[in-house]
Structures are given as structure tokens and as C-alpha cells.
Amino acid sequence: MAIHIRPIKAFKDNYIWTLINDSNNQAIVVDPGQAEPVMAYLEIHDLDLTAIWITHHHMDHTGGVAELQQSYPMTHIVAHSEHGVRMDQSVKDGSSVNAWGYSAQVWEVAGHTQSHLAYLLDIESQKHVFCGDTLFSGGCGRVFTGTIEELYNSFERLKKLPDETLFYPAHEYTADNLRFGLSIEPNNEAIRHSLLEATKNVERGIASLPVTLAHEKQVNVFMRPDMADTIEGVSRQVSLVDTKPLTVFAALRELKNNF
């Protein structure tokens, strides 16, 4: 059984990640903010939608659920009780979800929103993390109904995964995030190289994602609040009361808000 993971583009810069089982032509989609592009993709590739996984309640992640439920009534909807969708399976931190015999762990990764979830799917010892708007390549989500402390703790939790873990953020924000990263760490050649690659890919219509955790540890300043170069870069722009990782992380988020 071969499972492929493909992005479906939605809105201006959303990705609806789609798990495809070649052996039975079934699909699972994550965060369908729009139904139309999903339905078109399923029709073109002759796929049957069997499940929807939701990471958080924002409409650009849930707006297509009801229409997809109507068109594919056997679809199994997985969400947190606070995600505002009609679900078949309510999940929270510690839950698990089935994907054709493979198990996906559900983690709470709050911060962007208080009830934000990530789905950690293990396929043949390779971890795939559908992280919604918590982690972006080179960045992190804005804080809305969560707290900066929760977001920091979510990053600390994700950082403990194996370096080869693949992350599937829900937006194509990579180039903008890396430009911000260079404003903090102007001498970071990994960020500079990644920005060139991401810009080329986006211009060609190719997703800059997924990315490995090892990659993010090199280029994502929100993964690096304890690194001397990051601390120095933040200190050049704002006055820090101390250089504790949480303090630096919070300052980075404020700087990015105004970048």
C-alpha cells in the first residue's frame, strides 16, 4: 500500500494537504477551507473522500467542511469539540486517528488558537506532522485565542521530534518568513539559501513544503530563541528584559507582527 501526500491550493496561499491511498483510490484531507478545489482534485484523480482532519477553527481551515460532507456523506470528520464543525470523532491531546491501518497521534499545539491540534502520522517509521498554523517554514502563527507562552511550549514540544520529521504547514508563507529571519540573522547562510530556493519554487508554482525539523532548526528563528545569533539579532531591534528563550521568542513574534 502506497500513501502519497499532495497539496491542494486554496485561496491565495492555503494548502489543503491530501493523503492518497493508491491501493483503493481513497483520500483524506486536512483543513479544507474551500470545498471546490478539493472536489475538483478528487474528480480529476478519481478519488473517494473518506475523512477530514481539522487542526483549528478558523474559516480558511473549516469553510469547506459542510459542502464536502454533503457531497461525500460517508466522510469521517475528525476535529476538536471547539472547532465549530459537525464531527464524527472528537479528538484532543492524546487521541489517535486511523488512516488505513496507520495511526496518527493527536497533539495539542496551542498558541495560534487555544484548541489548535496537530496530527502526527507515522508511516513506515517516517513521521509526518500536519501542523496547521502553529509552525510555518521559517516562522510561526500569530497569537489569536492562545497565548505566546502556549505557542512557545508547542514549539518546544515539536523540537523534540526526530530531526527527519516532515512538517506540513497550511500556508505558503515561507519566503516572507525567511526574509524576516534574515533581518534577525543576516549572516545565516542556510536562511539565505533557503530563501532563494523557496522564491524559485513559488515562482514556478511548486510548494516550498514539506520541510524537515532539521531544516527548521537551521532556518526558523522561532526554533532558535536560545541561539547567540538570534538573541543578538533581536537585541539590535528591541530592548530585552532578559535573554531567556521565552522572552526572545515573544520579542520575535512582536517583531514579525510589524515586519
pLDDT in tens, 22-80: 999 999 999 999 999 999 999 999 999 999 999 999 999 999 999 999 999 999 999 99
Residue in this structure with the C-alpha cell 502563527, named with its chain if needed? 141
Report pLDDT for 71. Answer: 97
pLDDT in tens, 67-126: 999 999 999 999 999 999 999 999 999 999 999 999 999 999 999 999 999 999 999 999
Residue 171, number of CB atoms within 10 A of its CB: 20
pLDDT in tens, 193-203: 999 999 999 99
Assign residue 45 the CATH number of its domain. Answer: 3.60.15.10
Percent of the chain beyond pLDDT 90?
100
Contact 212, 114 (CB under 8 A): no
Decide if pLDDT at 158 tops 80: yes
Decide if pLDDT at 160 tops 80: yes
Report pLDDT for 116. Answer: 98
Report pLDDT for 99. Answer: 97
Burial group, residue 6, by CB count within 10 angstroms (0-12, 13-18, 19+)? middle
Host H or E run for residue 51? strand 48-53
Report pLDDT for 140. Answer: 98
pLDDT in tens, 167-178: 999 999 999 999
Report pLDDT for 153. Answer: 98
Report pLDDT for 94. Answer: 98
Report pLDDT for 204. Answer: 96
Among 147, 163, 157, which residue's Cα sits nearest to residue 214?
163
Tell me the average pLDDT of the chain: 97
Question: Binning pLDDT at 50, 70 and 90, where does residue 213 land?
Answer: very high
Report pLDDT for 121. Answer: 98
Report pLDDT for 57. Answer: 98
Cβ contacts of 41 within 8 Å, gap of 6 or more: 8, 18, 47
Domain interval for residue 109: 3-257
CA 64 to CA 66: how far, in whole Å?
6
Report pLDDT for 1. Answer: 74
Cβ contacts of 203 within 8 Å, gap of 6 or more: none
Contact 115, 80 (CB under 8 A): yes
Decide if pLDDT at 19 tops 90: yes
Structurally, the chain folds into a number of domains equal to: 1
